[in-house]
Amino acid sequence: MNWEKLLNNTRLGGRPPKSELGRSPFHSDHDKVVFSGAFRRLARKT
C-alpha cells in the first residue's frame, strides 16, 4: 500500500482545506452528525 498516493491532495478535487474556508474540520464533522437524519430520529428516543 502506497500511502503517498492514497493520501494525495488531488483526490480531494483541489479544494482548499476546511480551515481555510473559515470552518474547522471539527465543526464540519459536528454539523454533519447533528444535522443528519439518523441523529435527528434519535431526538425523542431517550
Residue 6 inside a domain? The answer is: no
Q: What is the pLDDT of residue 45?
A: 81
Q: What is the pLDDT of residue 34?
A: 92
DSSP 9-44: GGGGTTPPPGGGGT--HHHHHHHHHHTSHHHHHTTT
- The total domain count for the chain is 1
- Each of the 46 residues of the chain gets a pLDDT tens digit; together they read 788 777 766 655 566 665 556 778 888 889 999 999 999 999 878 6
Residue 45 inside a domain? The answer is: yes
Does pTM surpass 0.75? Answer: no
Residue 9 inside a domain? The answer is: no
Q: What is the pLDDT of residue 30?
A: 92
Instruction: Answer whether 24's CB lies under 8 Å from 18's CB.
Output: yes
Residue 35 inside a domain? The answer is: yes
Three-state SS at 3: helix
Domain membership of residue 40 as a residue range: 22-46
